[in-house]
Chains A and B, each alone.
Chain A
Amino acid sequence: MAKTLAEKVWDAHVVRKGDGEGANAQPDLLFIDLHLVHEVTSPQAFEGLRLAGRPLRRTDLTIATEDHNTPTLDIDKPIADLTSRTQIQTLRNNCQEFGVRLHSLGDAEQGIVHVVGPQLGLTQPGMTVVCGDSHTSTHGAFGALAMGIGTSEVEHVMATQTLSLKPFKTMAINVEGTLKPGVSAKDIILAVIAKIGTGGGQGFVLEYRGSAIRALSMEARMTICNMSIEAGARAGLVAPDQTTYDYMFGRPHAPQGAEWDAAVEYWDTLRSEDDATFDVEVDLDADTLEPFVTWGTNPGQGVSLSAKVPSPEDFGDENAKAAAERALQYMGLEAGTPMKEIRVDTVFLGSCTNSRMEDLRAAADIIRGRTKDPNVRMLVVPGSARVRLEAEAEGLDKVFKDFGAEWRFAGCSMCLGMNPDQLEPGERCASTSNRNFEGRQGKGGRTHLVSPVVAAATAVRGTLSSPSDLDPAPESAALSTDAA
């Protein structure tokens, strides 16, 4: 039978086939090519190994970094929060004891685990990648099967370099057409989630396909795959192509010479066969897509930026109606308010969804030569120390600082506020992150998920805005944009 990409990658990693067929089949045992580790979901797993007297089987397929707890200011000083400091110190001790490569705070390769893997060239097409973090789906952008796992599974991978996984269903997300200026990958994925819902992808591996996806850069594809989990999917991926190879080539852990040729030969086979069938197909028109923004408290509660806050009455399903009512109350919004009239207090540019070079460049291009709304604070948190260094080499830090934004050190930061970067109760934020859950960015904080350019335009105007809402920038600024 003709296979989809996800099925090919799966089949290439089966160590032992489970017995039985269909929904009640026993799980297959799959080999894991790369295990990414961070401080939050690993301590109990290391402890489990220690208690059972088990070694970590493949330290050479494991890499750790510090990201969730790390401060984004004063990183040369001891971490002020004692529990955060303990958790990070525990990771350091565990990596030392078990022989795991670790990039610590202050190291040039430290950063959000999903930014670090691709940047080092460790994420490659056709691999199985896991991490105790749901946004592991990011790595699917390379045509890898990448899944978030819980701590018990983290321990399982540490001990065995395998996972028992239940069969999945396949869903094609076909995005055809050309994105309008000011519309980006973030808008595609927010529109997909609004369309299929936060549970629409449950049990599925999504494959993003079509001309609009092929036209995207690797970083944009990562943004899309990153949020597959917000649709409930087990993973999301994009078939590798020349764009993928160009991104990979020359990275520290990319194959070289004859190995590169052998790898490309294999990678070229990694696409869904023309006659392969998906269990479900979903179509999205890129031509008509507009900048997208969430109004509620789950990522499926989104609308076009030019639309209005919906009314609970707009939803047929009783549960959706109740959820909308609750969300509007939490968000402090009135049905019928134009989204663009919503004023924000904070703009957060960062997270594993949108903190890479292209995201920073896109936002910088919007704000260059413009003035920040004085009532808005803007945090810019590069995804990794390496991204921060590259951005500084391009002078982007100066653009953000001149604008009045805070230029921070790398980490997960305000995406989930495990470090001091949090919203105050009632504070409203336009955020390039991935979750608008109640209290996610700080207790009582209100989150609107947006793309980097919408975040930037919002910082200029103080209300949710798209770049097309901005007055033309002064001429000198336009010139410097061209130069960049």
Chain B
Amino acid sequence: MEKFTTHTGVGVPLRQSNVDTDQIIPAVYLKRITRTGFEDALFAGWRKDPAFILNQEPFNTGSVLVAGPDFGTGSSREHAVWALKDYGFKTVLSSRFADIFRGNSGKQGLLAAEVAQDDIELIWKELENAPGTAVTVDLVSKTVRCGNIVAPFEIDDYTRWRLLEGLDDIGLTLQHEEDITAFEATRPSFKPKTLPAKLS
């Protein structure tokens, strides 16, 4: 995973709450077996509408998505994160993220920054008044800057550390393989195994 310290890019105001993962990427795009190439799938339903924000200059070049509360609800599809990244987004700001989406973002190096709704409103206004305004998201100081607005954001320390260092989760866990093996030895025998298969 690439390290994330700070990012500056065009902010995209998405004035909508409850942006679920079916909107971020409709299910029909989930049939692919690759991990990349999902840029065309991002908000595919909404992008058919010429008035949609990503169909407007300069927002189509955006890399900082500024969304309403409860972003990423619904399905666990990590494809939602891949689609945002493939399109060019580096970070999403929202006052509240769905848990699975937030987790998936952390694994893929997309920064999900939790910003108070009052600050989101200010950033929305700034981006709408001056389209193309850059937003800087600084993971070191945990702050967002947009025009004259400086706002703090929340992210848990562990995810922040992993993003800053660009660490691979599986590699980290396998450092503790002895602990896993020791735990496995204590697993009660009444707990089920899938193999050998038993059928009704």
Contacts and interface: CB of A to CB of B under 8 A. Distances in A.
B200 A16 contact: no
B33 A86 contact: yes
Please indicate which of the listed interface residues A124, A150, A322, A386 has the most CB atoms of chain B within 10 Å of its own CB. Answer: A150
Contact of A323 (B17, B78, B100): B17
Contact of B198 (A149, A166, A252, A440): A252
A68 B76 CA distance: 13
Contacts, number: 221
Contact of B194 (A83, A122, A322): A122
A405 B114 CA distance: 47
Interface stretch (B6-14, B85-93, B139-147, B171-179): B171-179
B17 A16 contact: no
Please indicate which of the listed interface residues B76, B187, B188, B195 has the most CB atoms of chain A within 10 Å of its own CB. Answer: B76
Please indicate which of the listed interface residues A109, A132, A151, A263 has the most CB atoms of chain B within 10 Å of its own CB. Answer: A151
Contact of B104 (A90, A152, A160): A152
A345 B192 CA distance: 44
Contact of A124 (B96, B192, B198): B192
Contact of A27 (B108, B158, B189, B200): B158
B191 A166 contact: no
B179 to A, nearest CB: 5
Interface string B26-65: 1110111111000000000100000000000000000000
Contacts of A81: 31
B33 A416 contact: no
A159 B189 CA distance: 22
Interface residues of A, number: 93
Size bin of chain B's contact surface: 35 or more
A133 B81 CA distance: 15
B173 to A, nearest CB: 5
A133 B76 contact: yes
Interface string B73-112: 1111111010000000000000010111001100110000
A127 B79 CA distance: 28
A468 interface: no
Interface in B152-200: 156-158, 169-170, 172-174, 176-177, 179-180, 183-184, 187-195, 197-200
Contacts of B176: 15-16, 29
A162 interface: yes
A299 to B, nearest CB: 9
Contact of A160 (B45, B69, B180, B187): B180
Interface of B: 15-18, 20, 22-23, 26-28, 30-35, 45, 68-70, 73-79, 81, 96, 98-100, 103-104, 107-108, 117, 156-158, 169-170, 172-174, 176-177, 179-180, 183-184, 187-195, 197-200
Interface pairs A-B: 5 shortest CB-CB: A152-B107, A150-B104, A150-B78, A43-B33, A252-B198
Interface of A: 15-16, 18, 20, 23-27, 29, 31, 33-34, 40-41, 43-44, 47, 52, 54, 59-63, 68-69, 81, 83-84, 86-87, 90, 101, 108-109, 120-122, 124, 127, 132-134, 136, 148-153, 155-156, 159-162, 164, 166, 198-199, 202-203, 229-230, 232, 234, 251-255, 259-260, 262-263, 266, 298, 319-320, 322-323, 326, 386, 416-418, 435, 437-440, 443
